[in-house]
Structure 1
Amino acid sequence: MGLTSLSGVLYSLAALRWPPPASWMTYWLLVSEHRLKEFGPRELANITYALAQLGYHPGTQWLTALCNAAVTHLPTVTQTEPAAGGGDADAGNPSKDGKWDASANVPHAEKTGGGSSGDGATAAVEVRFTAHGLSQLLWGLARLGHTPQQVTMQAICTDVQRQLQHFTPSGLANALWGVTVMSYKPPYVWVADVAASSFQLMPSCSSYDLSITTWALLRLGFVPDRDWLAGFLSASFCQLPSASPEHAARILWGLAKVGLTPPTDWMRHWLSMAYVRLLEADPTSLTTMMWALAKLGIRPSRKWVELLLISAWERPLRAFSPPDLVMLLWGLAQCGSTPEEAWMEEFWWVGRDTPSAPQSSAATRALISSVCLSVCLPVYIWRARRPPEGSRVPIFFKIAFRHIFFLSFRPFFVFPLSVTVFCALY
Structure 2
Amino acid sequence: MQQPDRVPKRKRQHLSAAFAWLGRGANDSRASLGSDPAFLKLLQRTSTLVSTFRSQALSTVLWSLARVDYSPGDEFLTSVIEASMPQLQHAKPQELVNSLWACARFQYQPGPAYLKAVARAAETHLEHFSSRDVANFLWACARLEFHPGDGFLEAAVSRAGKIAYKFASVDLANLFWALAQLSFRADEELFETLLAQMEVQLQSFEPSKLTSLMWACYKLELQPSPSLLGTLPEKSDSVLTELGPRGLSFMLWTYGLIGKSPGEPFLRRVLDKLGRSVPAFGYCGIQGLSGILWACARFAFHPGDDHVRALLEQSAAALPEANAAQATRLLWACAKLDHHPDDTFLQAWLARAQQLDFGPEEIQLCISSSKKLNFTDAQALMTSMRQTHSEMSVA
Matching of residue 74 in structure 1 with residue 74 in structure 2: no
Matching of residue 421 in structure 1 with residue 373 in structure 2: no
3-state secondary structure, aligned to 1:397? coil
Call closer, same or farther: CA 1:406–1:224 in 2, change over 3 Å.
closer
Match of 1:347 in 2: 311
Which of 291, 294, 302 in structure 2 is aligned with 1:327? Answer: 291
Q: CA–CA distance in 1 between the matches of 2:277 and 2:172?
A: 26
Unaligned runs of 5+ in 1: 76-127, 355-365
Matching of residue 34 in structure 1 with residue 48 in structure 2: yes
Q: CA–CA distance in 2 between the matches of 1:408 and 1:167?
A: 53
Matching of residue 150 in structure 1 with residue 164 in structure 2: no
Match of 1:227 in 2: 189
Match of 2:387 in 1: none
Q: CA–CA distance in 1 between the matches of 2:107 and 2:225?
A: 39
Q: CA–CA distance in 1 between the matches of 2:349 and 2:234?
A: 43
Call closer, same or farther: CA 1:318–1:15 in 2, change over 3 Å.
farther
Percentage of matched positions with identical amino acids? 18
Which structure has the highest helix share of the two?
Answer: 2
Matching of residue 134 in structure 1 with residue 96 in structure 2: yes
Q: CA–CA distance in 1 between the matches of 2:248 and 2:14?
A: 44
Query: Aligned AA for 2:41?
Result: Y
Q: CA–CA distance in 1 between the matches of 2:320 and 2:252?
A: 24
Partner deviation per Cα, 1:380-425 (whole Å, 9 max, x = no partner): 144x4xx34xxxx4xx422xx0134567957816998866532424
Match of 2:20 in 1: 11
Which of 202, 209, 212 in structure 1 is aligned with 2:164? Answer: 202
3-state secondary structure, aligned to 2:88? coil
Call closer, same or farther: CA 1:15–1:327 in 2, change over 3 Å.
same
Q: CA–CA distance in 2 between the matches of 1:145 and 1:44?
A: 18
Q: CA deviation at 1:312?
A: 3.6
3-state secondary structure, aligned to 2:328? helix
Matching of residue 397 in structure 1 with residue 341 in structure 2: yes
Q: CA–CA distance in 1 between the matches of 2:115 and 2:17?
A: 26
Matching of residue 368 in structure 1 with residue 330 in structure 2: no
1:259-338 matched pairs, under 5 angstroms: 259-265=221-227, 267-269=229-231, 271-272=233-234, 277-313=239-275, 317-338=281-302
RMSD: 3.1
Of residues 286-295 and 174-183 in structure 1, the stretch that sits farther from structure 2 once superposed is 286-295
Query: Aligned AA for 1:326?
Result: S
Q: CA deviation at 1:54?
A: 2.0
Of residues 261-270 and 179-188 in structure 1, the stretch that sits farther from structure 2 once superposed is 261-270
Call closer, same or farther: CA 1:69–1:410 in 2, change over 3 Å.
closer
Q: CA–CA distance in 2 between the matches of 1:190 and 1:332?
A: 39
Call closer, same or farther: CA 1:369–1:193 in 2, change over 3 Å.
closer
Q: CA deviation at 1:71?
A: 0.9
What TM-score results when the alignment is normalised by the length of structure 2? 0.78
Unaligned runs of 5+ in 2: 1-9, 376-395
3-state secondary structure, aligned to 2:87? coil
1:138-217 matched pairs, under 5 angstroms: 138-217=100-179
Question: Could you tell me whether the CA contact under 8 Å between 2:160 and 2:194 is conserved in 1?
Answer: no
Call closer, same or farther: CA 1:147–1:234 in 2, change over 3 Å.
same
Match of 2:35 in 1: 22
Q: CA deviation at 1:282?
A: 3.5
Partner deviation per Cα, 1:321-380 (whole Å, 9 max, x = no partner): 3223222322222122222333333322322334xxxxxxxxxxx633696984243321
Q: CA–CA distance in 2 between the matches of 1:380 and 1:172?
A: 41
Match of 2:382 in 1: none
Question: Could you tell me whether the CA contact under 8 Å between 1:7 and 1:46 is conserved in 2?
Answer: yes
Which structure has more relative contact order (CA 8 Å, sep 6+)? It is 1
Match of 2:7 in 1: none
Q: CA deviation at 1:23?
A: 5.3
Q: CA–CA distance in 1 between the matches of 2:275 and 2:201?
A: 28
Match of 2:201 in 1: 239
Call closer, same or farther: CA 1:138–1:423 in 2, change over 3 Å.
farther
Q: CA deviation at 1:28?
A: 2.9
What TM-score results when the alignment is normalised by the length of structure 1? 0.73
Query: Aligned AA for 1:367?
Result: P
Call closer, same or farther: CA 1:405–1:179 in 2, change over 3 Å.
closer
Of residues 222-231 and 136-145 in structure 1, the stretch that sits farther from structure 2 once superposed is 222-231
